[in-house]
């Protein structure tokens, strides 16, 4: 078989393998859909074009000295989208990954990506029904389940959980996740919110605080039917941290015992430094090198717990692979945020396969807007297939017989089964 034929076969097998998307910010329609005010499910051309990645990029073309941040934020969503489309897609070539993603999405939806205004796209999206459109997007992206990010300390979302009840976790197309960064990044705020929910937790962990914190975690893991517990942690986070004994106790005496009892993973997303340019709002964060040794300490000291870890700094990726070689209770996943670009997905996927074989989950979409599933998975599948083709070619060169059955098994492990097996209770 020629190299070209091998590549064609791998591309097909990767394209045909359904993905379970383990981390997104996409919501089931029961949480309300844009443009309904307060709707958490974002979709359609105006949301696509005002994705916070593109907001950051348009301020490089039209700087705040020309269009002040506050003026931009006062513009309507449509006016913001028109501004971004003009400057990033019409007057300049949409070369960046976030720009190319919009072009790929429009193309896969059967729309002409060469429009000079958003008018025709708006008309097309206005004719779509949100829930049916979810099925269309999932089919185009070949995603069998979308994993939400359910932020328990977000008052707006928690109010929806209170009003929706079990309906909030009832859409089989979506899995739920308990997201609670503040337990480790803003403990006082977390205590205030838990107290308001009726959990007698004190900031100094006195009295029945630990029992109450465990009760809070158990209650919300059960209520949301969470498949894992997630936190995004800053580059300064350490475990153990002599400077933060309280944080160590929260991890050791509440978080990990509850997760071990429920046999649920802790997904740690490490290295995000929030609000470096606060005027950009969601677009104002950066990624900074974090501490992989803290991950190793947790995997070693809590062998009964499962850890899913993704790190934001390119510099942390090799170290994380090496630590994962030492701990089978660690699942490295995804090319997160500023790493979700073809050049870095390729570098990381090669590194991971060479150090860990097909025991990792190479990608998640992190989609914030439903339609993004189409481009994020189209682009990632292309890169993952390219790397696998090289690996299979190397093995064939050494005389190994590579069968379609083997390639299909590997594709299933990488795109779905490693993750699904890891979260199995
Ligand atoms: O904290 C996170 O889950 C990050 O993914 C942030 O939401 C970030 O803003 C993002 O959307 N990255 O893709
Ligand atoms: Zn995210």
Which ligand is the nearest neighbour of the Cα of 53?
1
pLDDT averaged over every residue in the chain: 98
Residues 6+ apart with CB under 8 A from 226: 150, 176, 177, 178, 220, 264
The CA-based diameter of the chain, rounded to the nearest angstrom, is 70
pLDDT in tens, 303-352: 999 999 999 999 999 999 999 999 999 999 999 999 999 999 999 999 99
Q: Which ligand 1 atom minimizes the distance to the CA of 340?
A: 13
- Tell me the C-alpha distance between 287 and 285, whole Å: 7
The model scores a pTM over 0.85: yes
Q: Which CATH class is domain 3-32+143-423?
A: alpha beta
Q: Which helix (DSSP H) or strand (DSSP E) does residue 218 occupy?
A: helix 209-224
Ligand 1 pocket, residue 46 CB under 6 Å: no
Give the Å distance between the CA of 148 and the centre of ligand 2: 9
pLDDT in tens, 191-203: 999 999 999 999 9
- Tell me the C-alpha distance between 40 and 31, whole Å: 6
Question: Hey, which of 366, 369, 376, 380 would you mutate to test ligand 1's pocket, going by the most ligand atoms within 8 Å of its Cβ?
Answer: 366
Give the Å distance between the CA of 191 and the centre of ligand 1: 24
Per the CB < 8 A criterion, the answer to whether 268 and 295 are in contact is yes
pLDDT in tens, 95-133: 999 999 999 999 999 999 999 999 999 999 999 999 899
Give the Å distance between the CA of 232 and the centre of ligand 1: 8
- Other CB atoms within a 10 A radius of the CB of residue 308 amount to 24
> By alpha-carbon position, which residue is closest to atom 2 of ligand 1?
232
pLDDT in tens, 39-73: 999 999 999 999 999 999 999 999 999 999 999 99
CA 405-406-409 angle, to 5 degrees, is: 85
Banded pLDDT at 9 (limits 50, 70, 90): very high
The residue ranges of every structural domain in the chain are 3-32+143-423
Which ligand is the nearest neighbour of the Cα of 22?
2
């Amino acid at each position: 078989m020629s190299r070209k034929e091998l590549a064609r076969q791998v591309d097909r097998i990767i394209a045909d393998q359904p993905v379970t998307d383990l981390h997104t910010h996409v919501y089931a329609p029961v949480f309300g859909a844009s443009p309904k005010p307060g709707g958490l499910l974002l979709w359609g051309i105006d949301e696509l074009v005002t994705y916070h990645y593109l907001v950051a990029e348009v301020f490089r073309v039209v700087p705040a000295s020309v269009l002040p941040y506050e003026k931009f934020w006062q513009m309507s969503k449509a006016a913001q989208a028109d501004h971004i489309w003009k400057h990033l897609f019409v007057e300049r070539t949409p070369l960046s990954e976030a720009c190319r993603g919009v072009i790929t999405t429009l193309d896969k939806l059967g729309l002409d990506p060469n429009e000079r205004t958003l008018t025709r796209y708006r008309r097309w999206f206005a004719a779509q029904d949100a829930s049916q459109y979810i099925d269309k997007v999932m089919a185009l992206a070949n995603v069998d389940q979308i994993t939400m990010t359910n932020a328990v300390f977000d008052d707006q979302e928690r109010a929806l959980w209170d009003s929706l009840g079990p309906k909030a976790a009832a859409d089989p197309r979506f899995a739920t996740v308990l997201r609670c960064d503040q337990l480790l990044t803003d403990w006082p705020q977390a205590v205030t919110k838990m107290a308001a929910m009726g959990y007698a937790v004190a900031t100094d962990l006195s009295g029945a605080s630990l029992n109450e914190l465990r009760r809070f975690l158990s209650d919300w893991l059960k209520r949301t039917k969470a498949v894992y517990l997630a936190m995004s942690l800053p580059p300064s986070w350490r475990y153990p941290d002599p400077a933060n004994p309280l944080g160590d106790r929260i991890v050791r005496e509440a978080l990990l015992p509850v997760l071990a009892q429920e046999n649920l993973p802790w997904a740690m997303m490490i290295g995000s430094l929030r609000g470096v340019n606060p005027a950009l709002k969601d677009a104002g964060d950066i990624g900074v090198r974090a501490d992989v040794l803290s991950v190793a300490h947790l995997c070693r000291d809590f062998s009964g717990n499962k850890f899913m870890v993704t790190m934001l700094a390119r510099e942390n990726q090799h170290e994380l692979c090496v630590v994962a070689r030492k701990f089978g209770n660690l699942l490295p996943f995804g090319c997160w945020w500023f790493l979700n670009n073809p050049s870095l997905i390729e570098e990381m996927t090669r590194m991971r396969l060479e150090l860990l074989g097909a025991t990792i989950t190479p990608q998640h979409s992190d989609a914030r807007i439903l339609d993004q599933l189409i481009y994020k998975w189209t682009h990632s599948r292309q890169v993952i297939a390219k790397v696998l083709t090289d690996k299979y070619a190397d093995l064939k060169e050494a005389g190994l017989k590579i069968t379609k059955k083997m390639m299909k098994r590997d594709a299933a492990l990488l795109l779905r089964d490693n993750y699904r097996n890891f979260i199995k209770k």
